[in-house]
Amino acid sequence: MARGIQVGDKAPDFTLPSQSGEQVRLQDRIGERVVVLYFYPKDNTSGCTAEACAFRDSHEAFSDAGAEVIGVSSDSSDKHAGFASKHQLPFTLLADQGAKIRKAYGVPAVMGLIPGRVTYVIDRTGTVRHVFNSMTNIDGHVGEALEVVRKLQAEQPA
């Protein structure tokens, strides 16, 4: 099995449909902002809902620090639309049906079954600067990502 994407690697580019059905290309989002790309198992499960709501509650902090949050799971755009509206999620959710992008990033499955929960922070050059992998430490995904985003913002030339 290929090793997953690590810090220092170029983030694999992709295009996936969002919850509104719009095609979103990673390369188009990088450059303007730092991208916090988080892979999660499934819409509307307790852990995923807690994680999405934690990113929602920190959305302003991410925006202020020049970052965009994008969530990815294998659910359909329609399921994402329902999930996003139910929890008032202000960020993009992408439908990775067939899990091609999850595989491209090497996101592990837990016990070979449950899609893993991994967050990547990708800087404006498309380089992965941080990887956080934990099924249970929801706050760690948000807290560590925000810390890295703020560091990257501080490194930006004025």
Residue ranges per structural domain of the chain: 15-155
What are 63-81's pLDDT values in tens digits?
999 999 999 999 999 999 9
The CATH number assigned to the domain with range 15-155 reads 3.40.30.10
What are 107-123's pLDDT values in tens digits?
988 777 788 999 999 99
Q: Is 48 a catalytic residue?
A: yes
Please give the Cα distance from 59 to 88 (Å, whole number): 11
Phi, psi of 147 (to 5 degrees): -60, -45
Summarize the confidence of residues 133-158 as an average pLDDT.
Answer: 89
Summarize the confidence of residues 141-157 as an average pLDDT.
Answer: 91
Please give the Cα distance from 29 to 6 (Å, whole number): 20
Residue in 34, 36, 48, 70 annotated catalytic: 48
Please give the Cα distance from 47 to 61 (Å, whole number): 22
pTM of the model: 0.94
